[in-house]
Amino acid sequence: MTWLPYDMGVLAALRGDHEAAREHLAAAGPDDRALLLLGQLGGPDDSYERAAELGNAEAAYNLGARRAMAEDWPAALRWYERSAELGEPGARRMLGIMYATGQGVPVDDTVAEAYWRAAADGDERAFRDLGTLFGYHRDDPAEAAHWFLKAGQAGDPTAPRELKRLVPRLNRDDRRARTLLGVIHGFHLDDRATAVKLLTVSAGEGDPIAQRSLGFLVQGEDPDRAAALYRSAAEAGDTIAAFNVALLAGPTPEAVPWLRIAAEAGMPDAYPVLADRLSEQDRDEEARSWYLKGAEAGQVTSMFALAAWYRDGFGGPVDLVQALRWYLTMLQHGSGDGVHEIHGFVDRMTPDEIHEAGRLSGRYAEADLLAS
């Protein structure tokens, strides 16, 4: 078996055998992942500290949270700062809260803002924090609306209430505020008529967000107008609009440059669609690279396509380990669509290959069952 002590520890933990898990993890030596899990399973008190010293951001975050619970603010600050340096968005958010509320540090909402903006790239809760800062402490309703709209898109249940409260404060004479007001009316207050009126003015002034949002609202009744609005917004640099232009173009070569703009800007929804269009042009190697990007971004449709391509050798050599890896990874995202596909080729794999796919996907128990 190719699994290391850490992998054996994870499998034992999944089986509920925590004593065996701790034994395997302790045998892993200076492995930050093993020490983190050892700490989570009630291992030696210094497990988190050892993991953090080895560069584990989650361990440093946990230490910060423990010290904050004990109101040991200097230690909490130190560990949160270490976690933030290691790239943990949640730690950046907590540092923002500490500076906003004066927990162990002087109140400084400028520092809090900087931490929350840094956190927003990976912790969606920071959207609400920033909305609250600008809506209640900075008297900047447009910036508050921007962040509460992002919070709403992320599923924050408080966002609709906050957006409704901001409506009377948004200045219709200001283009950005007017656009945001139109978006709120059109997508959160179910007031399409007001939204179209407001967004039409901003779109005429060249606001790409207004153009794209208005295009969406009128697409059903006037697809030609919607297409023109999307194109104007896309040409102004709006990547969502570029994606919409591509979707309207359908399975045609014209869609590819617009999809590439959206994909290269980091829009995950564009990855599998671009891969599909490239495949239709027999550009399979490049198509596979975009399926891979989509899979790595958590796109289940990309995982399914990529696994099949690895299995069948499209766009590159056959790689059954990677095929199994991505079918198993789909389970991490709530999709069992790959399970039937697995049974079509797993008997061609060695136990070591199956275990490697389980390690790569994090689905140790399923891989162990398939290998038995």
Q: Each residue's pLDDT tens digit in the chain (372 positions)?
A: 578 999 999 999 999 999 999 999 999 999 999 999 999 999 998 999 999 999 999 999 999 999 999 999 999 999 999 999 999 999 999 999 999 999 999 999 999 999 999 999 999 999 999 999 999 999 999 999 999 999 999 999 999 999 999 999 999 999 999 999 999 999 999 999 999 999 999 999 999 999 999 999 999 999 999 999 999 999 999 999 999 999 999 999 999 999 999 999 999 999 999 999 999 999 999 999 999 999 999 999 999 999 999 999 999 999 999 999 999 999 999 999 999 999 999 999 999 999 999 999 999 999 999 998
- Residue at token pair 């992002």: 150
* Number of folded domains that form the chain: 1
Contact 304, 330 (CB under 8 A): yes
User: Does residue 239 fall inside a structural domain?
Assistant: no
User: Does residue 87 fall inside a structural domain?
Assistant: no
Greatest Cα pair distance in the chain: 69
Distances (CA, A) of 353 to 2, 322, 329, 361: 8, 10, 15, 12
User: Does residue 257 fall inside a structural domain?
Assistant: no
Please give the Cα distance from 368 to 361 (Å, whole number): 12
The conformation of residue 136, written as its DSSP 8-state character, comes to I
User: Does residue 106 fall inside a structural domain?
Assistant: no
Predicted pLDDT at 115: 98
Distance between start and end Cα atoms, the chain: 11
User: Does residue 334 fall inside a structural domain?
Assistant: yes
Radius of gyration of the chain from its Cα atoms, rounded to whole angstroms: 25
User: Does residue 344 fall inside a structural domain?
Assistant: yes
**The two structure tokens encoding residue 331:** 């389970």
Predicted pLDDT at 1: 54
Please give the Cα distance from 362 to 364 (Å, whole number): 6
Residues 6+ apart with CB under 8 A from 340: none
pTM exceeds 0.75: yes
Contact 334, 328 (CB under 8 A): no
Taking CA 246 as the corner, what is the angle to CA 244 and CA 248, rounded to the nearest 5 degrees? 70
Domain that holds residue 347: 319-372
Predicted pLDDT at 295: 98
